[in-house]
Structure 1
Amino acid sequence: MYDIFLKLLNERNVKASDVAKATGISQTVFSEWKRGKSKPKADKLQKIADFFGVSIEYLMTGKEPSTSESNRLSRKAQKDIEDILSSTEQMLRQEGLMFDGNPASQEAIDSIISAMRVGMEMAKEKNREKYTPKKYKKD
């Protein structure tokens, strides 16, 4: 992700400090990403993507989502998923969360959230396919 971030900085002739000021993300966070000490959270990724006018997928992979993938879920479905993940993330950040007898790391929490996002997106897509009446389906 950081490589793509650097590429966008160079292409747009912008400094990381400019992005930090515009998004409210500290420069310390950027340097931690660069060194691999932490991974960006979804809300910060969205702010950076919005700043550069790209998708989160582009920011993460360097590839734009295909049209069918980007329109796969409705805005309402995406908002529902974000609301659920936001409340779940708050719950996971509570003090005392343990995995295998050790305090949960930020990486573990981020992995759980990512896995939940993928699972919910797949479930929403399957449900849309299964429960959309034939007369509303596009061929």
Structure 2
Amino acid sequence: MNIKDIIKQKRLECGYTMKELAEKVGVSEATVSRWESGNLATMKHTKIMLLAKALKISPAMLFDAPASSSLSLTQQEETHIKKYRQLDADGREEIDDIIDVKLAKLQRKAEEDAESLG
């Protein structure tokens, strides 16, 4: 499934109009329309994070990440998942936010490194 299809499907599942989703993400309704049409070239990382949060999904899900059943997990990863599942909704949200911040920093660094290489 393409990102444009995921955005539209999840928006509809959440019961949002394009305008409502736009307000949650801090963009115009026209921008949401462009995203759902496949015009994603100018989509900023910060907007991806806000969009995923508004749609109640992980940012990776926007990119159609493989299902966990097809992943091979290390023992440490399995332990983390078990601990995560023991958290309440607030705890999970806090951990999700920490992960999102770390990933955003990595993304910025990768972009800066790419720019410095020319």
Matched residue, 1:43: 46
Q: 2:32 aligns with which of 24, 30, 33?
A: 30
Name the % identity: 16
**Larger helix percent:** 2
30 and 58 in structure 1: CA distance in 2 versus 1, 3 angstrom threshold: same
Does 1 or 2 have the higher relative contact order (CA < 8 Å, sep 6+)? Answer: 2
Which consecutive residues of structure 1, in runs of 5 or more, have no partner in the other structure? 93-98, 100-139
Which consecutive residues of structure 2, in runs of 5 or more, have no partner in the other structure? 78-97
Q: TM-score, normalised by structure 1?
A: 0.47
Q: Which has the larger radius of gyration?
A: 1
Superimposed CA distance per residue, residues 65-95 of structure 1 (whole angstroms, 9 cap, x where no aligned partner): 65949x6xx9485354134246x39x69xxx
> Secondary structure of 1:61's partner?
coil
Q: TM-score, normalised by structure 2?
A: 0.54
RMSD, matched Cα: 3.7
**How far apart are residue 20 of structure 1 and its match?**
0.7
> Secondary structure of 2:63's partner?
helix
In 2, are the aligned partners of 1:57 and 1:63 still within 8 Å (CA)? no
After the TM superposition, which segments of 4 or more aligned residues of structure 1 sit over 6 Å from their partners?
none
Give the aligned length.
Answer: 89
